[in-house]
Amino acid sequence: MAANIRGQNSPINETIRTYLALTKLRIVLLLVFTTVTAMFIAADGTPRADVMILTTVGGALAAAGASALNQFWDRDMDAKMSRTARRPIPAGQVSPQNAMLFGLGLIAWSAFILIWVNPLTMFLALFGAFYYDVIYTMILKRNTVVNILIGGGAGAMPVLVGWAAVTGTVTFEALILFAIVFYWTPPHSWALALLVHSDYARADVPMMPVARGEEATRQQMLLYSIQLVLVSVMPFLFGTLGTIYLTGAVILGIGLLYMCVRLIQIKDKAMARATYKYTTSYLAFLFLLMIIDRVLL
């Protein structure tokens, strides 16, 4: 028993946990799930095993590397916010240089793996990392209130990666999936911003609650959620997915709109937290419905 306890707290295990924290593993898993979902839809069923494995691994490495570089660039900001002060770099668990090299290494490995799928898949994954780290993190996040609106494209890139891996192209159907994640990002991110409003204000980050106020943020969340619900039914309207997906999408959409309306009525952190959790579940269940619909019909 004592040996097991010592093993669990060994320097190697601590190092592994530290570097995994740099990757933002929960976000990576959600992004990989959207990638796999796009592959199932593009393949009209189960994609080839080799393509799915290579794309999943390569896409995960690209997302993980981009997350590590994001923490490298945001290390000064993270140190000022209570939510992020315990991240590996501000906590002194890893040096900024090592975090940067780790992120670049993961992205390089991603490119090496995805080129075996096809060049377009590799390019889209690399562009997604560039979008997140340069366009969003370095340029938009610190300088404009529309950071999330424009930056949401980074989180939507994995669906294009998955689609291109199967088809070698990016079609209109793939762009609909991209739009779903794109319109999901503002209400999801702003719900979190409402929870950590003071953190963003302390770090001088112009998130919507800081730059426009909490009331405007709640109203914008409802408006973007309405657009998201409308976009979410488009896969059915254009014949990409069937009635199983449509039924679930409508139910999930009604729930999302209800949460946003309640957030306008109940202006406290408990409601913001509940809305944030719902938005996370919303995307996961919506994409799960896509796979179920594609496999069963």
Domain map of the chain by residue range? 12-169, 171-297
**Where does residue 12 rank: exposed (0-12), middle (13-18), buried (19+ CB within 10 A)?**
exposed
- Residue 4 exposure: Cα atoms within 13 Å on the Cβ side: 1
pTM, to two decimals: 0.92
Q: Provide the residue-wise pLDDT of the chain in tens; the chain has 297 residues.
A: 444 444 456 788 888 999 999 999 999 999 999 999 999 999 998 999 999 999 999 999 999 999 999 999 999 999 999 888 999 999 999 999 999 999 999 999 999 999 999 999 999 999 999 999 999 999 999 999 988 988 889 999 999 999 999 999 999 999 999 999 999 999 999 999 999 888 888 888 899 998 899 999 999 999 999 999 999 999 999 999 999 999 999 999 999 999 999 999 999 999 999 999 999 999 999 999 999 998 876
- Residue 24 exposure: Cα atoms within 13 Å on the Cβ side: 18
242-275 pLDDT, tens digit per residue, is: 999 999 999 999 999 999 999 999 999 999 999 9
CATH for 12-169? 1.10.357.140
201-249 pLDDT, tens digit per residue, is: 888 889 999 889 999 999 999 999 999 999 999 999 999 999 999 999 9
> Which 3-state string (H, E, C) describes 86-130?
CCCCCCCCCCHHHHHHHHHHHHHHHHHHHCCCCHHHHHHHHHHHH
Q: What is 217-279 written as a DSSP string?
A: HHHHHHHHHHHHHHHHTHHHHTTSS-HHHHHHHHHHHHHHHHHHHHHHHS-SHHHHHHHHHHH
Cα gap 114→136, rounded to integer Å? 23
Cα gap 293→290, rounded to integer Å? 5
* Range 46-63 burial, b when 16+ CB lie within 10 A, else e: ebeeebbebbbebbbbbb
Do residues 129 and 105 lie in contact, with contact meaning Cβ atoms separated by under 8 Å? no
